[in-house]
């Protein structure tokens, strides 16, 4: 047997030995690194990267940037500095998005993805045993109810369409409620307002 074939046989024996099915607590030896090890940040993790002072690996879009195809229509956002308000500075009383079966269905879809976890599918909010949202039940403060209840403070139920829009559009959110300015498009925010109004109408019957 030539030296080369002896060497090949020894290598084969070694390779087979490595596949014997036993478990090991030591990490495998990576001869070919591929891209298994690379400097990268994983989603939802912390970072000590100097430029990012908030210590989060996930970044928000740079202020003022707009994703392709997402340029807000001026009728839906008449004053970009004051979302929910008209150019006259007053809250928009009427939702500027035309109500269609599609827009309402879209609003329902977005509401159930983004809002229902805290405010509940029905929009009845609350926390603890009285809470309607999966996360809302665990919230330290009561999540507002979108429905008017006799004898209760119904400020939230009575907000104008513009005010509902503004709560989602505020870059800092509202107290313990996070901001949805970067997460939900302008059109979708108005569609959610349409759906909240539909919930209120049905809920009060
Ligand atoms: C993580 C939980 C959470 C989610 C998700 C959430 N909210 Fe809220 N929301 C709250 C809490 C808590 C408050 C009460 C904030 C406070 O203390 O004033 C609130 C308040 C509000 C208010 C009342 C603001 C006011 O003027 O008092 C509106 C309107 C509202 N949310 C709409 C929404 C909509 C629409 C969505 C989905 C896009 C949403 N929320 C998603 C927790 C949440």
Nearest CA to ligand 1 atom 37: 115
Assess if residue 146 is contained within a domain.
yes
If DSSP codes are grouped into helix, strand and coil, which group holds residue 138? helix
Assess if residue 116 is contained within a domain.
yes
Q: Ligand 1 test: best mutation among 109, 111, 138, 174, most atoms within 8 Å of CB?
A: 174
Assess if residue 31 is contained within a domain.
no
The Å distance, Cα 172 to ligand 1 centre, comes to 12
- Choice between 153 and 99, residue whose per-residue pLDDT is larger: 99
pTM, rounded to two decimals:
0.79
According to the model, what pLDDT value does residue 62 have? 86
> What atom in ligand 1 is closest to the CA of residue 142?
12
- Choice between 34 and 84, residue whose per-residue pLDDT is larger: 84
According to the model, what pLDDT value does residue 195 have? 98
> What atom in ligand 1 is closest to the CA of residue 114?
37
Assess if residue 57 is contained within a domain.
no
Q: What is the domain count for the chain? A: 1
> pLDDT, tens digit, for every residue of 179-192?
999 899 999 999 99
Domain containing residue 120? 101-203
Q: What is the CATH number of the domain that holds 192?
A: 1.10.760.10
Q: Round to the nearest angstrom and report the end-to-end CA distance of the chain.
A: 92
Assess if residue 84 is contained within a domain.
no
Assess if residue 150 is contained within a domain.
yes
Assess if residue 79 is contained within a domain.
no
Q: Ligand 1 test: best mutation among 91, 172, 177, most atoms within 8 Å of CB?
A: 177
| Rounded Cα gap, residues 113 and 54, in angstroms | 26
According to the model, what pLDDT value does residue 167 have? 98
Res. 16: pLDDT tops 70? no
Res. 10: pLDDT tops 80? no
CB count within 10 Å of CB 76 equals 17
The ligand 1 site (C-beta within 6 Å) comprises 114-115, 117-119, 135, 139, 141, 143-144, 156, 159, 164, 167-168, 174-178, 180, 184, 192
Assess if residue 64 is contained within a domain.
no
Helices 186-203, 161-169: axis angle to 10 degrees equals 130
């Amino acid at each position: 047997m030539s030296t080369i074939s002896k060497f090949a046989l020894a290598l084969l024996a070694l390779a087979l030995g490595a596949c014997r099915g036993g478990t090991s607590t030591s990490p495998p030896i990576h001869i070919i690194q591929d891209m298994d090890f690379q400097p990268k940040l994983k989603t939802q993790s912390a970072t000590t990267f100097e430029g990012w002072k908030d210590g989060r690996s996930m970044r928000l879009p740079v202020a003022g940037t707009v994703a392709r195809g997402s340029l807000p229509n001026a009728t839906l956002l008449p004053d970009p500095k004051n979302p929910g308000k008209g150019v006259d500075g007053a809250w928009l009383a009427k939702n500027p998005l035309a109500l269609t079966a599609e827009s309402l269905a879209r609003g329902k879809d977005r509401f159930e993805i983004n809002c229902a976890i805290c405010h509940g599918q029905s929009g009845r909010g609350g926390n603890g045993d009285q809470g309607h949202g999966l996360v809302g039940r665990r919230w330290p403060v009561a999540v507002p109810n979108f429905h008017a209840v006799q004898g209760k403070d119904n400020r939230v139920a009575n907000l104008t369409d513009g005010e509902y829009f503004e709560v989602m559009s505020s870059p800092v959110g509202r107290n313990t409620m996070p901001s949805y300015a970067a997460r939900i498009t302008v059109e979708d925010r108005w569609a959610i307002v349409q759906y909240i109004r539909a919930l209120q109408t049905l809920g009060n019957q």
